[in-house]
Amino acid sequence: MKVNEHASGKRLDQARRLKVLVLGAAGLTREEIGRECSCSINSVSRVILVAGGRPSRRSRRRSRSSRQLSLLEREEIRVAVAQGKSIREIAEVIGRHPSTICRELARNGGRKGYRATKADDRACSQMARRKPSKLTLTPKLRRVVRRWLVEDLSPEQISGRLKVKYPNDPEMRISHETIYQSLYVQSRGQFRKDLTKCLRTGRS
């Protein structure tokens, strides 16, 4: 099946532009996208260029929460911005809170510099980057947690004792789930493996 070259000189409507981006996000080549959307490779390239570049296959295939904007929603934001719509109008169009739209634009070049695929690539990159735990970022808290673990307190007891001992210091608050996660998942360079022996079950 050949690409429809007749469409190369025509501006694609919004539905087909969105389809081009979605197919690109799925990892299809520009030739394959052209066949699926009945348009030329040049038209596909223009849509991708205007949206901010070639979508990343690896980043697009990563699952994301429904609370996070999708590539389709970001393209709708880009179109609405180009139409001069207000933040509230854009929010109504895609069914999101105005503050979400405001943050999205502020993080990605504002109204003049916003590009859907660039914004989506940036968001996917941030999702992929492992965030350091609170124990990693707060040396004082780490020292206290370490000491109390050695003293045979459980993570639940440590979490409760911190609230009593440091009632006015939010940095000295941590949930028992975070302590477990730090011990088992993010312990490199921060907790020695033998600290897990301090847990009451003794299981590694």
C-alpha span between 199 and 155 (Å, rounded): 8
Residue range 145-174, pLDDT digits in tens: 888 887 888 888 999 999 999 988 888 988
Predicted local confidence at residue 129, as pLDDT: 60
% the chain with pLDDT above 90: 20
Single pTM value for the model = 0.42
Q: Measured between alpha carbons, how far is 174 from 163 in angstroms, rounded to an integer?
A: 9
> How far apart are the C-alpha atoms of 53 and 36, rounded to whole Å?
19
Task: Please state, in angstroms and rounded to a whole number, the distance separating the CA atoms of residues 82 and 174.
Answer: 44
Higher-scoring residue by pLDDT: 203, 18: 18
One-letter amino acid of 115: R
Task: Give pLDDT, residue 161.
Answer: 92
106 pLDDT tier (thresholds 50, 70, 90): very high
CA distances from 96 to 19, 99, 101, 160, 161 (A): 21, 8, 7, 37, 40
Q: How many CB atoms lie within 10 A of CB 189?
A: 7
How many residues appear in the chain?
Answer: 204
pLDDT at 185 over 80: no
**Residue 66 pLDDT more than 50?**
yes
Place 54 in a pLDDT band, splitting at 50, 70 and 90.
low
Could you read off the pLDDT of 6-32 as tens digits, one per residue? 334 457 887 787 777 777 766 677 888
Mean pLDDT of 78-98: 92
Q: Supply the pLDDT for residue 150.
A: 78
